Amino acid sequence: FAPNNVPVHASTELKMSLKKDIANVGKVAAAAALLAFSQASPAQALTKSETNQLSYLQVKGTGLANRCPEVIGEDSIKPAKSGASIGEMCIEPKAWAVEEEIGKGGKTEKKFVNSKVMTRQTYTLDGIEGSIKNDGQIIFSETEGLDYAACTIQLPGGERVPFLFTVKDLVAKGKGDTFKPGFQMGGDFNTPSYRTGLFLDPKGRGGTTGYDMAVALPGLQSGEEGDDELFKENNKVFDVTKGRIEMEVNKVNAEESEIGGVFVATQLSDTDMGSKAPKKVLTKGIFYARVNQ
């Protein structure tokens, strides 16, 4: 189900030119284009300290567990050259789009099409941790946390696109040595397969277990060509692809050592363990993190 806590005016801001955003991933425009959207926070946005005061029953069923904390302030934080780290990082998607080939005037071009999330409110990444190196340029290296979430989004025509939203093994390089409003950092991450080797498809075939052929279709897997027609379906692979994320800080609370901002990320969708061509997915949203000195 699509989250119902995004206000109408925020949704309007999200319908910007996605093609322009992805063309500028790695540049100021990609993250800056989200500033208006991020500042129009939903009414129930809470700071980390306010969230920590709530009990389980107060959070249950409200959607707050899928929300990143809000940061108040426009201070600055300069991490130490060594020994510093980022903890409790939260990354919350707010909008999704899928690259599609659009035909117009006898020509086709690739454009990102706004999509609707079909996953319940379990798609936010949380508890992400990693080290910081600061030699005049902040470099964040992700090491652990709840750094992946299985998601499904739906195109306007009804086609559903599953993908693993993640920032595994992210190495993000910043432009500067201080976290402050306007600070940007970005880098590549690994996107593991949506399904693991133990997954079995409807024919009982899997990557590390199950049948090695479609038992119910022997006629299509015999003769001179063998199983050429079903080769990809029969031979499952665990694909690991690359993704990229760009982040911009717009709020800093030095007293609480907190930073917050917006992000734009691109990655490939599920390949059904090698049998389907992946689609490019664009994700936009907000993030929160605590800087440990």
What pLDDT was estimated at residue 221? 62
Paired tokens of 118: 């079909």
User: Are the C-beta atoms of residues 170 and 131 closer than 8 Å to each other?
Assistant: no
pLDDT, residue 284, reads 96
User: Per-residue confidence of the chain (293 residues) as pLDDT tens digits?
Assistant: 344 443 433 333 433 443 344 445 444 334 434 443 444 344 367 899 999 999 999 998 888 899 999 999 999 999 988 889 999 999 999 999 999 988 877 788 889 999 999 998 899 999 999 999 999 899 999 999 999 999 999 999 999 999 999 999 999 999 899 999 999 999 999 999 888 878 888 888 888 888 877 776 766 666 556 667 777 887 788 889 999 999 999 999 999 999 999 999 999 998 888 888 899 999 999 999 999 98
217/211 Cα distance (integer angstroms): 12
Element (H, E) at 162: strand 160-166
DSSP for residue 164: E
What the block records as the tokens of 99 is 């690259």
Provide the pLDDT for residue 22: 41
Which of 239, 241, 243, 238 has its CA nearest to residue 91?
Answer: 243
Cβ–Cβ under 8 Å, residues 127 and 149? no
HEC string of 92-157? EEEEEEEEEEEEECCEEEEEEEEEEECCCCCCCEEEEEEEEEECCCEEEEEEEEECEEEEEEECCC
Residues in the chain: 293
SS3 state at 89: strand
Neighbours of 109 (CB within 10 A): 11
Q: Which residues pair with 126 in a beta bridge?
A: 146
Closest CA to 142 of 132, 156, 153: 132
Q: How high is the pLDDT of residue 9?
A: 38
Q: What is the pLDDT at residue 224?
A: 59
State the Cα–Cα distance between residues 239 and 255, nearest whole angstrom.
Answer: 43
Instruction: Please identify which residue in the block is written with the tokens 């999200």.
Output: 14
